[in-house]
Every structure is written in C-alpha cells, then in structure tokens.
Amino acid sequence: MRKFLCVTVIAFGALLLAAGPAYANTISIGPQSMEGALQIHAGDWIAAGYVFKIPGSHPATTVGFANATVTLPVSCTSGGSLAGTITINLSGGPYNVPLNSSTQFPATNQSDPLSYEGSVQAPDLCGGNVMFAASNSPTPGGGATFSADLQSTQSNNISVAFHYRDANAKGQGNLNCADPNSNPFPADNGPCGGSLSATTAFAPDVTDTPVPMGAIGGLGLAGIVGVAFGFLQRRRRPRAAATRSQ
C-alpha cells in the first residue's frame, strides 16, 4: 500500500508540473533560409540555437526561453511536397545580463557551441534517400522557424536571432556543432559557422522567475521523487527495528 501511495504521489506531482502555467508570449522568427539548399541525410547531426542582446540602458536582467525549438520542414524531392519536419529542442537558460550590458548572449561568435542550445540526428523521412530542406523546402519562403516563450525580469525589448547547421550537408563531416567535443571552435570557425537569421526585437513576458518549464519540471519531479523515497524509507525503518526486536 505504501509503495502504491509513493508512486501515486510521484505521478500526481509530475501531472501538476506538466499542467503548470503556460507562458503566453510566444515569439517566432522565420521561416528563413540562412544555410542555402541543404541536402540532409538520415543520421546527420543538425544543431540549432539562438542568441540575444538587450539594447540600450537597462537594469540587471534575467532572461529565459521556454519551450524553444527550431523546426525544419523537408521534402523528398527538391521543391516537392512536405515529407515531414525535423524539430530541434533547445535549452532555455536562464541567462543573467548585467546592468546596461549590450553583449550578445550566450555567445558572441556564431561558431561557438554555446550558440547552439540543442541538436538532433536527422530521422529518415524519405526511405533512405536524401531529404531536401531550406531553400528547397515546400513551405512558403522556405527554411527553418524558431519559436519560444520569451520571459524576462524586466520589460525592456530583447533582440533575438537564430541559426542552424548541418555540417555534414556542408561537406564538413558529421559534426555535432552543439557539442564542444565535436565542434572544433575556437581552433576552426568554419565547420560550425551557421549564419544568423535577421534580428527581431520582442517584448518579453515579465516574471520574477524566467526559468523554462522544462527545467522547473525536472527539478520539481526530482524533489517529489526524493520526498517520496524519504517517506518510504522512514516508514521502513521502524518496521525493520520491530522485526529485529522480536
């Protein structure tokens, strides 16, 4: 019975976290094609990420990007009908920006692995054949789209850009540009130098705790598991002591 209660507590806590408040200010950039006519093969590492800065004078600020993704539609022939979409989930911070800083976060160089907050190996959406993306995309305008729920402790506008990179499709080898052990930066800026999109300024949702829901959920669930495990262990100790005393 106690094990059942423990599992129930964990499941209920996870449900509460999953049903937590949603941030309303979803931003979007794209579709944009910064990488040209990509031909992607199943298994290619595709890295993606965003950079941002706060222009002008501003207080010390914490910024977070919840539910951040880059989506890349592909077809099985150049300009053909949509075969599927490759989605790259991105970590969201939070990032602490000092008073009046105009520095680009989380990296000033677009080849830096810190500028790629996520990566995925391309699935096989064309039966083992090449997948056409970017300017070959069947979507209007072609290219990839970045979206996120933008949050900040201050109301100042935030300038955001994104990029993506399939190094293998660029003839640079199957590098994971989001992985510092695979990305050759800073020794070589070329293989992972994915061009940035146009920069767009957005007004964020203002919150005291701009932490992505995924991070809250993971930490919260870990806490629930720990409490439930501790409860179960405390219940076991008296029982074990009583058994030894008999």
Tens-digit pLDDT profile for residues 55-98:
999 999 999 999 999 999 999 988 888 899 999 999 999 999 99
Q: What is the pLDDT of residue 24?
A: 59
Q: Which residues pair with 49 in a beta bridge?
A: 163
Give the residue-averaged pLDDT of 183-194. 93
Structure tokens at 85: 């979409």
CA distance 12 to 17: 9
- Separation of alpha carbons 28 and 26, rounded Å: 7
Q: Average per-residue pLDDT in the chain? A: 81
| DSSP bridge pairs for 120 | 46
Measured distance CA(114)–CA(98) in Å, rounded:
18
Mean pLDDT throughout 154-172?
96
Mean pLDDT across 7-26: 46
Specify which residues 144 forms β-bridges with: 32
pLDDT value of position 81: 86
Identity of residue 121:
Q
How far does CA 148 lie from the centroid of its chain? 9
127 against 21, higher pLDDT: 127
Residue 150 to residue 65: CA distance in whole angstroms: 5
More confident residue, 53 or 238: 53
pTM of the model: 0.77
70, 88 Cβ separation under 8 angstroms: yes
Mean pLDDT for 7-15 is: 40
